[in-house]
Structure 1
């Protein structure tokens, strides 16, 4: 089935919406990396932007986690490479929180 053709205005609106979504995602992941947001907060988020974020990008945004370590964690926790935050199972969420959540002082 071919994609519907869009008018110039519809295409422009869609591009602006996509750009705004990418900008918000980048800001949220930067806040996570800087420690201004907690992993639990993002995993429990109702934001459509956060829920559609790939888990790998989320892991790579954690302090001290790079691409290689994120890949190893995805394998260890049995998370598919294409999985997004909204698609995480309860066990996977719990494993991530146990690994990265700091105990309350």
Structure 2
């Protein structure tokens, strides 16, 4: 998970990987999420927000099934987007679940 710090009203600076290069995020900061799986699988990446909402992150279009991949990520299509940390003071949790077979 890469951490981008909000600086002022318009600038976002890359601070590095959370837990390695950066150890804290603030309200208004942003992140990108990339998971490395040991082999390709059908995966979902979701965010559990502090306001109780569950937000799908991968695939970005919640109406399409996940592709077979070993690197689910957000953003996956809209590369200019990052995930905004603006839902409260508690850190949101991103979670990945995967399956080697497609389940309908």
TM > 0.5 between the two? no
Structure with bigger strand share is: 2
- The structure with higher relative contact order (CA 8 Å, sep 6+) is 2
- State TM-score, norm by structure 1: 0.30
Structure with bigger helix share is: 1
- State TM-score, norm by structure 2: 0.30
